[in-house]
Structure 1
Amino acid sequence: MAQNINWSGKPWHESEPLECAMVVPDVADTATFTFRAPSGAWFDYQPGQFITLDLPVDPARGAAGNVQRTYTISSSPSRPLSISITVKAQPGSIGTRWMLDHLRPGMRLKAYGPGGLFSFHRHPAQKYLFISAGSGITPMMSMTTWAWDSGQMPDITFVHAARRPSAIIFRERLEQFANRVPGLRLRFTVKEPDPFRAWAGYQGRLSQIMLGLMAPDYLEREVFCCGPEPFMQSVREMLVSLGYNMDRYHQESFGAPARTVAEMPVHDDVVPDADSSASILFAASGVSATCSQTDTVLAVAKQSGLNIPSGCTFGLCGTCKVRKLSGDVHMVHNGGISEDEVAEGYILACCSVPIGHVSVEV
């Protein structure tokens, strides 16, 4: 039954505790917690922002047992009578595990915020590309819901990576949106399909080739990215190598959402410089060659009269795999090499460029 609530007509302030109104399970170890203000205050924030909850993880110890955890708001301010967060427990989770096991409707929590700079309201554009992985989908859900509720046709390509189809948070809700508006295009990729369930979508690590197929006009889109740091670093490297204007790239961190401009991370990603010199020693052949940081190992080998077997030449087939003996390379591949092989010192010659002096076993 619907409850009678005397809406106050004023915005919620963090001085008022939030009351849990509803808990909705999602995928494994994941649930959406919806809160409201006991006073009837409404919620005003930007889609993509976060709140911080004070969680009594050990109630027997009182306030001394509380921990504070930051969660992105998964609801939209276009629906201001409540506010929702969607949380997924990771190995070793403390606050999130407590929420999943103990937080129930009627309980009240101290909350701080909303805050954060990760919102497409701060970067208006005609076309957007949302890229997320795991629970990094939550701010994208908030922004997509706002776009849906705005009454204007959105132009959003929504790319999401998950372990398997059954782990895609909000999948049914997003598909309901996309089924009704052509301007929202969903592109999912998974590490592996669910057993005994056919999967017709993308499979494998998000790559340059995959991104080009998912969003052919990515150069025209404002990009928002959220997920684990290795995932976001991979996305940044892909976009840089594809010539994307990184001034239009925005990301949110799992661990430390930025509250102010000063807190926004400075990415120290390697960007090869065509004007910087490098050199490659092909150890087995005894050949040494100078080059620039944007020349691939494969191209330098061919120019030096050496043969490294190759196939696709864009990091997919793995034919040009060689062992690096020393030095550093910058490699942006499309799945033709495994993390274990990289750890053993192997590189793909077709998509590896030397940073300084490099020696390879050729």
Structure 2
Amino acid sequence: MNQLGPGAVRAEYDRWDEDPIGRPLTCTRITRRTGQIATFEFVADDRRALPHEPGQYITVSVDIGGERVSRCYTVSSPSTRPYSVQLTIRREADGVMSRWLHDNLRVGDRVELSGPAGEFSTAFHPAERLLLLAGGVGITPMISILESIHDLAQPVDVVLVHNSRAPEFVAFAEELARINAENAHVRVIQAVSHDPDGAWLGPVGRLDAGMLGENVPDLLDREVFICGPDAYMVHAESLLLSLGVDRDRIHQESFVLAGAEEVVVDPTAEGLHAVTFAKSGKTVTIADGLTVLDAAKECGIRIMTSCQNGICGTCKTGKISGDVDIAHNGGIRQREIDNGKILACCSRPRGPVVIDA
């Protein structure tokens, strides 16, 4: 097995991380986890290391139907095995990228990956006692964290509570059972919301105070990481706060570039811009410096978004009229901009604009 010393790994990480355009990687293995979840493994043609911190994400970019599509996905492989990148992805009925990957990607195909990014990682929030809360496919960063800790034999006390809809939706069951059996510092609690056959041996029900009290009595002493569907993360955070967990010790996965600058807007500024959403028939006036995505949220209009920093392209939408400043990070091509496309997350109106949403 190829190995790199710490200094060499850091150098490789910097080379990988500093490439905002991305690199074409080859798919070498596809592993089905459940009926709708699969792991796609990629390697570089030159077999160069692709290091990441456990819990970070990368951006996948492919051409679908003549358009460039980019989405962010968490790396599910551990940081201790840097010569491949594994992405564990659920096929979503309305997910353009996830459907394409599940239905079209084959071993030997090449796609463009860029990153890694994100600070949802024990590397940025180290602690001797961890609580990992995962809902459904939110297990992906957690398996990376657990495998990394296990590979390095780190004496970190970890409790994982993984909630799935039903037994057939549990991903990484064998891997988690192995770590739980081999590592005395790790406890894995698998729970399901529904058990129609009555065959499930673990807890049945949603994440609640009783489940945490029974399995994590030292909850207040742990650094907590949460990942899962939006509703799950909102519920989990609210539950933790109600139980007295310090907000600063709660970390949630968010596809945002580390170190991205926050735009501070003066709400009393004179510059105001009207943003009209043609399909929805709504108009809102926003302060100078706010984005089209901010306007959409103000109106209650749902625009799909992921990284919110102009890298993934998820929030790409049409601009019918008006001018905007687009400060993107590679998530849109110039020809798309020339054809009236924008990224809602990083497009700031210069005046009145009309959006095709």
Is TM (by shorter chain) over 0.5? yes
1:88: how far off? 0.3
> Paired residue for 1:122, among 120, 124, 129?
124
Task: Give the total of aligned pairs.
Answer: 250
**DSSP 3-state at the match of 2:23:** coil
Work out whether residues 117 and 261 of structure 1, in 8 Å CA contact, stay in contact via their aligned partners in 2: no
1:67: how far off? 0.7
> Paired residue for 2:33, among 26, 30, 37?
26
> Paired residue for 2:257, among 256, 259, 265?
259
1:150 matched to which residue of 2? 152
> Paired residue for 1:188, among 168, 187, 190?
190
Question: What are the residue-to-residue correspondences of 1:26-65 with 2, within 5 Å?
Answer: 26-58=33-65, 61=66, 65=67
Question: What are the residue-to-residue correspondences of 1:74-93 with 2, within 5 Å?
Answer: 74-93=76-95
Work out whether residues 55 and 69 of structure 1, in 8 Å CA contact, stay in contact via their aligned partners in 2: no
1:16 matched to which residue of 2? 23
1:173 matched to which residue of 2? 175
Question: C-alpha separation between the residues in 1 aligned to 2:100 and 2:25?
Answer: 17
Work out whether residues 53 and 109 of structure 1, in 8 Å CA contact, stay in contact via their aligned partners in 2: yes
1:26: how far off? 0.7
Question: C-alpha separation between the residues in 2 aligned to 1:199 and 1:135?
Answer: 19
Q: What amino acid does structure 2 have at the position aligned with 1:35?
A: F
> Paired residue for 2:135, among 125, 133, 136?
133
Question: C-alpha separation between the residues in 2 aligned to 1:81 and 1:190?
Answer: 34
Work out whether residues 31 and 100 of structure 1, in 8 Å CA contact, stay in contact via their aligned partners in 2: yes
Q: What amino acid does structure 2 have at the position aligned with 1:84?
A: Q
- Percent of pairs with identical residues: 36
Question: C-alpha separation between the residues in 2 aligned to 1:245 and 1:231?
Answer: 19
1:16: how far off? 3.0
Question: C-alpha separation between the residues in 1 aligned to 2:194 and 2:256?
Answer: 33
- Using a 3 Å threshold, how does the CA distance of structure 1 residues 70 and 244 change in structure 2: closer, same or farther? same
Work out whether residues 164 and 193 of structure 1, in 8 Å CA contact, stay in contact via their aligned partners in 2: yes
Max radius of gyration: which structure? 1
1:152: how far off? 2.4
Question: C-alpha separation between the residues in 2 aligned to 1:156 and 1:200?
Answer: 21
TM-score normalised by structure 1 residue count: 0.65
> What runs of 5+ residues in structure 2 fail to find an aligned partner?
3-7, 263-357
Work out whether residues 75 and 87 of structure 2, in 8 Å CA contact, stay in contact via their aligned partners in 1: yes
Q: What amino acid does structure 2 have at the position aligned with 1:104?
A: R
Deviations 1:301-344 (A, max 9, x none): xxxxxxxxxxxxxxxxxxxxxxxxxxxxxxxxxxxxxxxxxxxx
**DSSP 3-state at the match of 1:17:** strand
Work out whether residues 17 and 109 of structure 1, in 8 Å CA contact, stay in contact via their aligned partners in 2: yes
1:263: how far off? 7.4
Work out whether residues 190 and 202 of structure 1, in 8 Å CA contact, stay in contact via their aligned partners in 2: yes
1:97: how far off? 0.7
1:96 matched to which residue of 2? 98
TM-score normalised by structure 2 residue count: 0.66
**DSSP 3-state at the match of 2:199:** coil
Work out whether residues 127 and 156 of structure 2, in 8 Å CA contact, stay in contact via their aligned partners in 1: no
Q: What amino acid does structure 1 have at the position aligned with 2:256?
A: A
Work out whether residues 23 and 114 of structure 2, in 8 Å CA contact, stay in contact via their aligned partners in 1: no
Question: C-alpha separation between the residues in 1 aligned to 2:182 and 2:196?
Answer: 27
Q: What amino acid does structure 1 have at the position aligned with 2:247?
A: M
Name which structure has the greater RCO, CA cutoff 8 Å, separation 6+: 2
1:248: how far off? 0.7
Deviations 1:94-126 (A, max 9, x none): 101110111111111111111111101111111
Cα-Cα RMSD: 2.1
Say whether residues 1:213 and 2:211 are aligned partners.
no
2:338 matched to which residue of 1? none
Question: C-alpha separation between the residues in 2 aligned to 1:220 and 1:181?
Answer: 20
**DSSP 3-state at the match of 1:186:** strand
1:245 matched to which residue of 2? 246
- Using a 3 Å threshold, how does the CA distance of structure 1 residues 215 and 52 change in structure 2: closer, same or farther? same
Deviations 1:51-93 (A, max 9, x none): 10112222xx3xxx22101100000120111110000012211
2:73 matched to which residue of 1? 71
1:261: how far off? 4.9
Question: C-alpha separation between the residues in 2 aligned to 1:220 and 1:210?
Answer: 17
Decide which moves more: 146-155 or 65-74.
146-155
**DSSP 3-state at the match of 2:124:** coil
Q: What amino acid does structure 1 have at the position aligned with 2:96?
A: I
Question: What are the residue-to-residue correspondences of 1:218-237 with 2, within 5 Å?
Answer: 218-237=219-238
